[in-house]
Structure 1
Amino acid sequence: TTNNTEVGAKYDWLNGKASTTISVFRLERSNIKVANATATALLPIGEQRTDGVEISGAAELGGGWRMLAGYAYLDATVTKSSAALQGKRATLTPRHSGNAWVTKDLGHGFGVGAGLNLVGARYADPQNTVTLPGYVTADAMAWYRRGAFEAQLNLYNLFDKGYIVSGHGTSPNLNMPGAPRSVMATLRYRM
Structure 2
Amino acid sequence: MEVVVAPSSREYCNVERNQQEEVGGKHSEHFDYSQRGQWLRAVVLGGNEGLVSTALLVIGAGRFGHETKALIITGLAGLFAGAMSMATAEIVSVYTQVDVMNFQTKRDLRRGRRGGAFLRGPVPSPTQIAMAASAAYVVGGVVPLLAAGFITSLKVRFLVLFIVASLSMLALGWFGARLGSSPIARSCARVLFGGCIEIMIILGKTKLLQCFGL
Structure with a larger share of its residues in strand: 1
The answer, yes or no, to whether TM exceeds 0.5 is no
The alignment's TM-score, normalised by the length of structure 1, stands at: 0.30
The alignment's TM-score, normalised by the length of structure 2, stands at: 0.27
Bigger RCO (CA 8 Å, 6+ sep): 2
Structure with a larger share of its residues in helix: 2
